[in-house]
Amino acid sequence: MRQLVILGASGSIGQSTLKVLRHNPGCWQVLALTAWRSLDAMLRDCLEFSPRFAVMVDESAARELASRLKAHGSQTQVLSGAKALCEMSAHPDAHSVMAAIVGAAGLAPTMAAVRAGKRILLANKEALVMSGAFFMEAVRDHGAELLPIDSEHNAIFQCLPEAIQRQPGFCDLAGAGISKILLTGSGGPFRYTDINDLAKVTPAQAVAHPNWSMGAKISVDSATMFNKGLEYIEARWLFNAAPEQIQVVVHPQSVIHSMVQYKDGSVLAQLGNPDMCTPIAHALAYPARIPSGVEPLDFFSVGEFSFIRPDVERYPCLALAMAACQEGQSATTALNAANEEAVAAFLAERIGFMDIARVNESALLTFGQHSADSLDDLIALDCAARARAQDLIKALSR
């Protein structure tokens, strides 16, 4: 039986992964579940899935989990600290690693899985945006296998020829007859809100996505469409696509998860109900197909599809991310770092919704042209951009 490590098991993607495993008993053994500090979810899931290891990054949560598991007679060994995440990712018995930690915190454990040559089911787009070429080169050099979980990238992957699927990061899209990747996005909850009212949007309104159920950070990113910007950069690296080969298309129904346009005029699309269990099941079983538990798509209840050009005045964060992608690696690393700080400050009600773009723009102006020749340089740049973002957040929250 293949053994699976789930990084970020207590989160939205982690929980959907466990749901898919429930639909496929006997196919996977859970080697490790990890979380930061969500005790109750980890206790419940360790008792159900009996992983060999459980990691809580937070030490006191780890101690508490160990004592509660012991009281239940569980054999699961509890580890703590961020280093233990990397140990799990690189564990010799791990076949696949679900990379579903949110934000830059996911970079080190995802990289550890890459360097150990694992099959990586990549949900943590921020890790790829932060490290771009270094990440993809490590995938190639260590013989790792990268399968995208982000629904758009998973859809694009499914619409690509098999030869490209085997080494997507170094493919020649034009050579394979592909003219464009069409990256779809719903436009989030404020697609039709008066632009003048956006400054007053509350965190509760921003996290209420109309079609997808997700963690808080990505939900805010979807509302600003920064998420689509991250996905644009993610597609650039995953599919070796030049910025002009990627087009963002707003598709409010979230039924077409993305498309690939070929030079003969064909457009291949992947469709389905908006539920992350589909891409997770696809990546877990690739190239086989397994049940995901997702309801089959009923075209009669969908009724109509519509498509809209994205409005950069409404979504300045999307424009910033696309500009950063043109500028290069330092720009995308700094922008991602600033955005994480800005979204956390917005969720804590320290800054307004439209201030997120202000913080992000400042990072791009300050750090966009910095040089970064190694992963260590990028990590230092990430820290500097966070510090600068925090200064601006302080000023904005006065």
Q: Is 228 labelled as part of a ligand binding site?
A: yes
Strands (E), 195-322: 246-250, 256-262, 267-271
100 binds ligand NDP (CB under 6 A): yes
Query: Cβ-closest residue to ligand NDP?
Result: 11
Contacts of 366 (CB under 8 A, 6+ apart): 334, 385, 388
| Backbone φ, ψ for residue 106 (5° rounding) | -85, -10
Q: Nearest 10 degrees: CA dihedral of 219, 223, 226, 229?
A: 100
SS3 50: coil
* Segment near ligand NDP (CB under 6 A); pick from 121-129, 132-140, 155-163, 334-342: 121-129
For the window 145-174, what string marks contact with ligand NDP as x by the rule CB under 6 A?
-----x------------------------
Distance of closest approach, residue 212 Cβ to ligand NDP, in angstroms: 6
Piece of the chain touching ligand NDP by CB under 6 A; list 35-43, 128-136, 258-266, 323-331: 35-43
Q: Give the pair of three-digit tokens for residue 148.
A: 């995208």
CB atoms within 10 A of CB 84: 20
In the chain, count of helices (H) and strands (E)? 17, 11
- The order of strands in the sheet holding 119-122 is 77-80, 53-56, 28-35, 2-7, 96-99, 119-122, 145-148
CB of 253 to Mg ion, least distance (A): 15
Kindly tell me which of 91 and 153 has the beta carbon lying closer to Mg ion: 153
List the one residue out of 228, 234, 218 whose CA is nearest residue 132: 234
Only segment of 123-131, 232-240, 249-257, 356-364 that touches ligand NDP (CB under 6 A) = 123-131
Task: Provide the minimum distance between the beta carbon of 15 and ligand NDP in the complex, in angstroms, as a whole number.
Answer: 8
152 is in an annotated binding site: yes
Task: Check whether 273 is labelled as a binding-site residue.
Answer: no
Closest CA to 75 of 34, 113, 95, 47: 47
Which residues are within 8 A (CB) of 19 and not within 5 positions of it... i.e. 6 or more apart? 277, 293
Which residue, 280 or 370, has its beta carbon nearer to ligand NDP?
280
Using alpha carbons, select from 228, 148, 233, 154 the residue that is nearest to residue 188.
Answer: 228
DSSP state letter for 263: T
Least spacing, CB of residue 375 vs ligand NDP, in Å: 18
Q: Which does 215 bind (CB under 5 to 8 A by kind): Mg ion, ligand NDP, none?
A: ligand NDP
Binding-site ranges for Mg ion (CB under 5 A) = 150-152
- On whether 227 is known to bind a ligand per the annotation, the reply is yes
Provide the terminal-to-terminal Cα distance of the chain, rounded to the nearest Å: 56
Q: Which entry of ligand NDP, Mg ion, none binds 38, CB below 5 to 8 A by partner kind?
A: ligand NDP
Nearer to Mg ion, 86 or 159 (CB): 159
Which is closer to Mg ion, CB of 272 or CB of 368? 272
Helix (H, G, I), strand (E, B) or coil at 306: coil
Compute the least distance from the CB of residue 296 to ligand NDP, in Å.
20
Q: Which of Mg ion, ligand NDP, none is residue 95 near (CB under 5 to 8 Å by kind)?
A: none
Q: Is 250 in the site for ligand NDP (CB under 6 A)?
A: no
Per CB under 6 A, the segment of 98-106, 169-177, 261-269, 285-293 that binds ligand NDP is 98-106
What whole-number distance in Å separates Cα of residue 207 and Cα of residue 201?
10
**Cβ contacts of residue 212 below 8 Å, gap of 6+?**
186, 219, 222, 254, 274, 276
164 is in an annotated binding site: no
Q: Taking the complex as a whole, how short is the minimal distance between the CB of residue 360 and ligand NDP, in angstroms? A: 16
Q: Are the C-beta atoms of residues 277 and 292 closer than 8 Å to each other?
A: yes
Return the residue matching tokens 């580890």: 79
Q: With binding defined as CB under 6 A, does residue 4 bind ligand NDP?
A: no
Q: Which residues define the annotated binding site for 1-deoxy-D-xylulose 5-phosphate?
A: 125, 151-152, 186, 209, 222, 227-228, 231
Write out the residues near ligand NDP by the rule CB under 6 A.
8-14, 35-38, 57, 100-102, 105, 123-126, 150, 212, 214-215, 217-218, 276
Q: Which residues define the annotated binding site?
A: 11-13, 37, 124-126, 150-152, 186, 209, 215, 222, 227-228, 231
